[in-house]
A = this chain, B = another copy of it.
Amino acid sequence: MNNPTAFPLSQVRIEHGFLAERARLVRDTVIPYQWEALNDRIEGAERSGCVHNFQVAAGEKAGEFHGLFWQDSDLAKWIEAASYRLATHPAPALEAELDRLIATITRAQQKDGYLNTYFQLVEPQNRWANLRDCHELYVAGHFIEAGVAHFYATGKRTLLVVVSRLADLIDATFGPGLGQTPGYCGHEEIELALIKLARATKVARYRELAEYFISQRGHAPNYFETEARRRGENGKLPWHMHHDGLATLQAARPVQELTEPVGHAVRMMYLLAAMIDLAKDGSTATSADHCRQLWTAITTRHLYVTGGVGTEPYGEKFCEPFDLPPDRAYAETCAGIGVMMCARRMLDLELHAGHADVMERALYNNVLAGLSLDGRTFFYVNPLEVVPAVAKRRYECHLVKTQRVPWFGCACCPPNIARLLASLGDYAFTRTPDGVAVHLYVGGAIRFTAESVPVTLQITTEYPWQERVELAMSATKPATFALQLRLPGWCRHPHLTLNGQPFALEPVHGYVRLQRTWLPGDKVTLDLPMPVERVHADSRVAAAAGQVALQRGPVVYCVEQVDNGAHLSALSLPRSAVLKSHFVPDLLGGCVIIEGQAVRTESSGPLYGTEPAPTTGVRLCAVPYALWANRGEGEMRVWIRES
């Protein structure tokens, strides 16, 4: 990987356990399935048109553009996912398929480097004319990410050359110079992509362009207003900008003045990701303090317990602090991935386990919920409470799906999950100045070199279902390095042994540091007790008042109708109820469930009465939130009333 703190994906193997199974599903099913979807070969799914559009733009076939302005980006994210897959699990057929696709893309690219099939095929006269709405630079950013990923995975420069030419065109077009456009994209993405490109190519001006885009954003005169006047618009903004105006795009005022997250959640997270990258690279366009301020605001006032962000269906936006309604959650899968992207980058800035806690929360809950167990259907919106009849009925829930679907007209999320799960190794481990830090516990191995000694760190665990993580060092000779292990914030009593001897934990910012000369065969055993916890939200979260979420380890649970009957809101959990967890091998692919004695309030007769309704004792069964809606349609809820 191009991030200086990242290990190349090829050095990380995620081989067994829960996440490995999800990653395998992505390799074996999701990536091939999405290729079919992008080629419009999935019956009953919304048409993608992605490959078709490039073939038409390349002159390989006749036809018309299909889809939205940003349709190309679905394909770009898939190329990125497929490239990560090649990095970890070479596959000649897939590589050849990618080569053919890249050849088509190369043919589709215009002479001056421009690449965007919508504008090439539909509105060639309006190139760069509506940066506010049309996602042109966003699409370019995803292609740049794809080009960089493909280069790292295969060593081939075929796509890197294409996207560098595109970046050069953008660099020539935008900026403060004479004849340049002082604009930036309505949907951030190009910024973080340019930083990746700069790191991969060592061409500093790509980073400088990212700095320019971020510094320019929201400054007066506002570019989006200038641009709208040029288009002859009357000042009326699109509906999704209701209430926030240009703050929907983080462009109402300079980025430097932001103190709370604003606007469209994915955009905000992608902007912050680029800002953290710049802070890491020592740019003066932003600061670590400012990044930390925004990250803290997001994670302490705007985060769902599932790690999702974005609470407003209209415009997919951040709302008021602590306004986290479960039924109208937007919590888009892409936004959850954005949370992971920022968390991972915050770990680059500073090794604080709290950042990894948020990353893990988003991964195991909001993000994994986006993908069905069979890898063929997806969620875009991830609410924390669904009553199907109500969700289908109420307009403010009209984007909530009560079942995952095969594809979307706006299909940003499915390939985003694919690229995330195909590059999990980059989130699990980082390179530190003197060794390795482990953030996520996955069954597999990481290879690295410690003072010229090649080392393999083998990790054996059934996390998150089991509490034990075993790490074994193998090398041909002793190796000196620091192994830093995250002690998860959810774990009250972690326990660590080194070669069987208890090791006193003196964690720094939540990481225990084992700095020593390791001998081949050295073993570290980390036990992370995972009792069932009742999680309470801050009392300012009105939607969770008097309720608890059940959590075990990093996994947040929910109750589903299939296990607990309808009218889940009638369930309550006595404070005294004992909750037990156990692994059920044949449920939902094998998972730990939580059971306990709960209370159900019966229907009392009158709609409103003065006698408390009778209650009956019932068995409560909770399953991991990420695995909900894999057994047909029904009610689901995360927050359970305490009684």
Q: Does A643 contact B (CB under 8 A)?
A: yes
In this complex, which of A313, A545, A609 has the most chain B Cβ atoms within 10 angstroms of its Cβ? A545
Flag if A539 contacts B389 (CB, 8 Å): no
Which residue from chain B places its CB closest to the CB of A533 in the assembled complex? B610
Q: How far is the CB of A64 from chain B (nearest CB, A)?
A: 22
Pick the residue among B319, B323, B613, B643 that contacts A539 (CB under 8 A).
B613
Residues of B close to A609: CB separation below 8 A: 535-536, 538
Which residue from chain B places its CB closest to the CB of A396 in the assembled complex? B396
Q: Whole-angstrom distance between the alpha carbons of A201 and B273 in the complex?
A: 75
Contact A545 to B390, CB < 8 A, known contacts A538-B604, A608-B536, A612-B536: no
Flag if A536 contacts B567 (CB, 8 Å): no
In this complex, which of A314, A398, A537, A569 has the most chain B Cβ atoms within 10 angstroms of its Cβ? A569
Residues of B close to A389: CB separation below 8 A: 320, 323
Q: Whole-angstrom distance between the alpha carbons of A602 and B314 in the complex?
A: 31
Q: Which of A407-464 contact B (CB under 8 A)?
A: none
Residues of B close to A545: CB separation below 8 A: 569-570, 572, 601, 641
The interface-forming segment of A120-128, A283-291, A298-306 is A298-306
Flag if B394 contacts A319 (CB, 8 Å): yes
Q: Which of A217-247 contact B (CB under 8 A)?
A: 242-243
Q: Does A493 contact B (CB under 8 A)?
A: no
Flag if A390 contacts B604 (CB, 8 Å): no
Flag if B535 contacts A603 (CB, 8 Å): no
Residues of B close to A242: CB separation below 8 A: 395, 398
Q: How far is the CB of A124 from chain B (nearest CB, A)?
A: 30
Residues of B close to A387: CB separation below 8 A: 323, 542
Q: Does A541 contact B (CB under 8 A)?
A: yes
Flag if B390 contacts A608 (CB, 8 Å): no
Pick the residue among B305, B312, B319, B604 that contacts A608 (CB under 8 A).
B305
Which residue from chain B places its CB closest to the CB of A300 in the assembled complex? B607
Q: Which of A348-406 contact B (CB under 8 A)?
A: 387, 389-390, 392-396, 398
Q: Whole-angstrom distance between the alpha carbons of A342 and B475 in the complex?
A: 84
Flag if A607 contacts B396 (CB, 8 Å): no
Q: Does A176 contact B (CB under 8 A)?
A: no
Q: Does A582 contact B (CB under 8 A)?
A: no
Q: How far is the CB of A161 from chain B (nearest CB, A)?
A: 45
Q: Does A328 contact B (CB under 8 A)?
A: yes
Q: How many copies does the complex hold?
A: 2
Contact A536 to B570, CB < 8 A, known contacts A319-B390, A395-B314: no
Q: How far is the CB of A391 from chain B (nearest CB, A)?
A: 10
Q: Which of A585-624 contact B (CB under 8 A)?
A: 600-613
Q: Whole-angstrom distance between the alpha carbons of A612 and B538 in the complex?
A: 9
Q: Whole-angstrom distance between the alpha carbons of A301 and B603 in the complex?
A: 12
Q: Whole-angstrom distance between the alpha carbons of A396 and B400 in the complex?
A: 14
Q: Does A540 contact B (CB under 8 A)?
A: yes
Which residue from chain B places its CB closest to the CB of A392 in the assembled complex? B243
Residues of B close to A538: CB separation below 8 A: 603-609, 613
Residues of B close to A394: CB separation below 8 A: 312, 319, 323, 328
Which residue from chain B places its CB closest to the CB of A534 in the assembled complex? B610
Which residue from chain B places its CB closest to the CB of A614 in the assembled complex? B539
Residues of B close to A570: CB separation below 8 A: 539-540, 545
Q: Whole-angstrom distance between the alpha carbons of A328 and B327 in the complex?
A: 12
Q: Whole-angstrom distance between the alpha carbons of A539 and B301 in the complex?
A: 31
Which residue from chain B places its CB closest to the CB of A568 in the assembled complex? B542
Q: How far is the CB of A575 from chain B (nearest CB, A)?
A: 8
Flag if B546 contacts A567 (CB, 8 Å): no
- Contact flags A296-326 to B (C-beta < 8 A → 1, else 0): 0001110101000000111100011001000
Residues of B close to A492: CB separation below 8 A: 610
Q: Whole-angstrom distance between the alpha carbons of A537 and B601 in the complex?
A: 11
Q: Whole-angstrom distance between the alpha carbons of A641 and B567 in the complex?
A: 19
Flag if A320 contacts B539 (CB, 8 Å): no
Flag if B536 contacts A603 (CB, 8 Å): no
Flag if A312 contacts B536 (CB, 8 Å): no
Q: List 16 A-B contacts (CB under 8 A).
A: A242-B395, A312-B395, A323-B387, A328-B394, A492-B610, A536-B604, A536-B609, A536-B611, A537-B608, A538-B608, A539-B569, A539-B570, A539-B603, A545-B572, A545-B641, A549-B608
Q: Which residues of A contact B (CB under 8 A)?
A: 242-243, 299-301, 303, 305, 312-315, 319-320, 323, 328, 387, 389-390, 392-396, 398, 490, 492, 533-542, 545-546, 549, 567, 569-570, 572, 600-613, 641, 643
Which 3 A-B pairs rank lowest in CB-CB distance, beginning with the nearest? A542-B569, A396-B396, A314-B395
